[in-house]
Amino acid sequence: MVNFKDYTKQYINGKWLEGSGANTIDVLNPYDDSRLYTVKTVNEADIDQAMLTAEKAQKKWAKTTPGERKEVLRKVIAYLEEHKKEIIDIYTSETGGTILAANIALQITFEELEEAIKFADEVNVVNQVPATIEGKENHVYRVPVGVITSISPFNFPLNLSVRTIAPAIALGNAVVHKPDVATGITGGVILTKAFEEAGLPAGVLNLLLTDPKTDGTGDYLLEHPIPRFISFTGSTAVGRHVGEIAGRNLKKVALELGGNNPFIVLSDADVDRAVDAAIFGKFVHQGQICMITNRIIVHKDIAEEFTNKFVDRAKALPYGNPKDPATVVGPLINDRQLQKAQAVIEAAIANGEKIALEGQRVGNILTPYVFKDVKNDSALAQTEVFSPIATIIPVESDEEAIRIASETEYGLSSSIFTQDLEKAQQYALQIDSGVTHINDQTVNAQPDIPFGGNKASGVGRFGNPWLIEEFTTTKWVSVQKTYREFPF
């Protein structure tokens, strides 16, 4: 047994340390607001130490063999397997996610780690390129980028952290990781402890449990000159800020941001199956997922049937304590997110939107809301609600459904329900999003698929092999084997 609350500290150069900042942060259980633990924040000196440590450790780590890096990753998997029960318990306490959500996150984490093992063979490999100069050999190497800053969000913190940390380390990089402090254990401590127990050399992975707004460091982590790459998952507003700083400092970025994902139900769709998928795609983890179904776009001929069946299913979803295996809808992460969701509801009502299902606030839980007959250009439809609020948009034709699916600033995930699979694949290519699923909902993850968004949903792609390009850099080394004559 391990009590992960014992490790709610900074992890720098292989040591668990209290932060040197002047403030503390109480992390609360989203369900009942009980205090889970308290974190001492960092200061700029702590960040400097983490970065300098990572820079030094990375130079040695980059020289390790693929076999050595693979062995560490295998031991991480074994550690997480051994402590699955404790992980699921703290996951539900810290994130407010249900037992189902915790198991999904853990399964995706295992898949990401297994895939990361394959990355270890893709670095420090030489490719020969023919030379145009007599007697010259061209060697092109793929080498680690160096130190990577990793920043992960509160919503699915375990797998949204591992998808950067594991590939980065497998490719010979070092990582300075800052999860959202509200989910510091599931977003940082669990993985850091696993890598420590797996024998990862000190300094290759460093953990900062802190909040820049609270600790007074501002953008210091982003602006620090040592990291060459910033991997950020979070809101579009913050992502724009991260991208701005990275561009100014000529850092590479991977930005996976918000979404306003359309779930399209065409005229020939199987309504019952579409409802099944839409219920899961909208309400899993209380709607707090970047890929969550946000706009449900339904052909007018089946809109009434779909809406009635969807409402019946939504109002029957069990809500309550996320530790209860029967619970589907648990609490939102904190009161601020609850207030944002309630503000969306109040604004929609004030704008005359029709309620098909009126939810309620029960403690920190918001039960499902469903709005019907919504226009795609309305404020409601154009808002990423990040909560259990469903928006149903009827359309005149299948062509209109496909067209308005892209009429949003976002472009992350999307889905199409239809019995015409050939037409659906043509439609899928017309939607301006990084992902389209046919006859499925919008929330899917797979570590060997290019995952990322278009427009305001982000920059770059996760997944093997696309992430290799992100987390490495190429180097040309030429060897002149015979004497070369020069013109002067």
Task: Provide mean pLDDT across the span 36-53.
Answer: 97
Percent of residues, the chain, with pLDDT higher than 90 = 99
Task: Report the pLDDT value the prediction gives residue 118, as an integer from 0 to 100.
Answer: 97
Query: What does the block give as tokens for 304?
Result: 């009434």
Q: What SS3 class is residue 143?
A: strand
| Structural tokens at position 366 | 């918001």
Q: What is the model's pLDDT at position 191?
A: 98
Tell me how far apart the alpha carbons of residues 231 and 252 are, in angstroms, rounded to a whole number.
Answer: 9
Overall average pLDDT of the 64-86 stretch: 98
Neighbouring residues of 325: CB distance < 8 A, sequence distance ≥ 6: 99, 100
At residue 446, does pLDDT exceed 90? yes
C-alpha radius of gyration, the chain, whole number: 24
pTM: 0.96
Burial group, residue 120, by CB count within 10 angstroms (0-12, 13-18, 19+): buried
Six-digit token pair at 385?
């609600």
What ranges do the domains of the chain cover? 4-257+453-476, 261-438
CB 307 within 8 A of CB 277: no
Q: Is the peptide bond before 144 cis (omega within 30 degrees of 0)?
A: no
> Quick check: 475 and 141 in contact, CB under 8 A?
yes
**Strands 369-372, 354-357: parallel, antiparallel or unpaired by DSSP?**
antiparallel
Average pLDDT over residues 202-221: 95
User: Which residue carries 């820079």 as its tokens?
Assistant: 55
In this prediction, residue 126 has a pLDDT band, given cuts at 50, 70 and 90, of confident
Q: What's residue 353's pLDDT?
A: 98
DSSP secondary structure letters along 429-456? HHS-SS--EESS-S----TTS-B--EET
- 341 Cβ contact partners less than 8 Å away, ≥ 6 residues apart: 332, 366, 385, 386, 387, 388, 389
What is the pLDDT averaged over residues 380-404?
98
Is pLDDT above 90 for 132?
Answer: yes
- Per DSSP, helices labelled H in 62-156 are 66-82, 84-95, 99-119
Q: 488 CB contacts (<8 Å, ≥6 apart)?
A: none
Nearest 5°: the CA angle 244, 250, 252 is: 85
Question: Which residues are catalytic, by number?
Answer: 256
Which of 187, 177, 189 has its CA nearest to residue 151? Answer: 177
Q: With cut-offs at 50, 70 and 90, classify the pLDDT of residue 215.
A: very high
Question: Which residues, 6+ apart, have CB-to-CB distance to 120 below 8 Å?
Answer: 66, 67, 69, 70, 73, 170, 171
Token readout for 215 is: 């600790």
For the chain, what percent of residues have pLDDT higher than 70? 100
Strands 10-12 and 361-362: unpaired
Residue 124's pLDDT band (cuts 50, 70, 90): confident
Which residues fall within 8 angstroms of residue 179, CB to CB, at 6 or more apart? 151, 152, 157, 161, 186, 187, 188, 207, 209
Task: With beta carbons less than 8 A apart as the criterion, state whether 80 and 74 touch.
Answer: no
- Count of CB atoms situated within 10 Å of the CB of 54: 27
Average pLDDT for 348-356 = 98
Q: What are phi and psi of 139, to 5 degrees?
A: -115, 130
Q: What's the whole-number average pLDDT of the chain?
A: 97
Q: Phi and psi for 326 in degrees, rounded to 5?
A: -80, -15
- Residue 107, pLDDT > 90, answer yes
84-95 vs 66-82: helix crossing angle, rounded to 10: 70
Residue 125 above 90 pLDDT?
no
* 3-state secondary structure (DSSP) of residue 339: helix
Please give the class, per CATH, of domain 261-438: alpha beta
The residue among 54, 14, 251 whose CA lies nearest residue 168 is: 54
Beta strand ranges found along 323-451 (DSSP E)? 354-357, 361-362, 365-366, 369-372, 389-395, 410-411, 415-417, 437-438
CA dist., res. 406 & res. 450, Å (int): 20
* For range 458-468, the mean pLDDT: 95
Question: Which CATH number applies to 4-257+453-476?
Answer: 3.40.605.10
For residue 301, the model assigns a pLDDT of 98
The predicted-structure confidence for 181-201, as pLDDT tens digits, reads as follows 999 999 999 999 999 999 999
What confidence tens digit (pLDDT) does each residue in 228-257 have?
Answer: 999 999 999 999 999 999 999 999 999 999
Give the pLDDT band of residue 168 (cuts 50, 70, 90).
very high
Residue 48 near residue 20, CB atoms below 8 Å: no
In the predicted model, is pLDDT for residue 140 greater than 90? yes
